[in-house]
Amino acid sequence: MTNITLVRGDITEQEVDAVVNAANSSLLGGGGVDGAVHRRGGPEILAACRELRAGHYGRGLAAGAAVATTAGRLPARWVIHTVGPVFSAEEDRSATLASCYRESLRVADELGARTVAFPAISTGIYRWPMADAADIALRTVATTPTEVTEARFVLFDEKAYDTFRAALPGGPAGG
């Protein structure tokens, strides 16, 4: 079972084995976490993503799926790209959001990554309400069998951090 930790900060500064990127299905960059990962990680990541597009991922990466590349200049070994679902009030897409976390952990296990940093997938440009996203993220990571020893949620602002803390199983703990 993995140890879940919460930190407030920038995911591109995390010294971990793998950083999870909230990518879009093109794999060719975007805003939010994706923009920061490519900016800080440098062109090597985009080159690796282009290779994926030229090969097995010709149609891009589906929502809920995950794939790894080099982390370029980030202080990590790998970036695991996953595509969150766009929030919809009409359609329940929580299974797809849960799949992002499960698939990222599966890829991390394949790589042999033991420490993994996650952003709050889908809560930015894809508009998922933070409290619900936190609930899905924490529940999924807590219940997925994995060799990952630390799953670190990196929350960009105070509000996101507090929301995740309140959603921790067993309620908010100190720290």
Distance from C-alpha of 76 to C-alpha of 96, rounded to nearest angstrom: 26
Q: Least distance in Å: CB of 40 to ligand ADP?
A: 8
Q: Does 11 bind ligand ADP (CB under 6 A)?
A: yes
For the beta sheet containing 3-8, the strands, ordered from the edge strand earlier in sequence to the opposite edge, are: 3-8, 150-155, 115-118, 16-23, 76-83, 66-70
Stretch of 41-49, 51-59, 60-68, 119-127 lying at the interface with ligand ADP (CB under 6 A): 119-127
Q: Does 46 bind ligand ADP (CB under 6 A)?
A: no
Q: From residue 121 to residue 160, what is the string marking binding to ligand ADP with x (rule CB under 6 A)?
A: xxxxxx---------------------------x-x---x
Tokens of 39: 């900016």
Number of CB atoms found within 10 A of residue 159's CB: 11
Distance from C-alpha of 122 to C-alpha of 171, rounded to nearest angstrom: 23
Residue 150, CB half-sphere, CA atoms under 13 Å: how many?
A: 15
Q: Least distance in Å: CB of 125 to ligand ADP?
A: 4
Strands 16-23 and 3-8, sheet pairing? unpaired
**Residue 109 bears catalytic tag:** no
In the list 84, 107, 108, 113, the residue contacting ligand ADP (rule: CB under 6 A) is: 84
Tokens of 120: 């709050």
Stretch of 60-68, 106-114, 117-125, 138-146 lying at the interface with ligand ADP (CB under 6 A): 117-125
Contacting residues toward ligand ADP, per CB under 6 A: 10-12, 22, 31-34, 36, 84, 119-126, 154, 156, 160
What residues act catalytically? 34
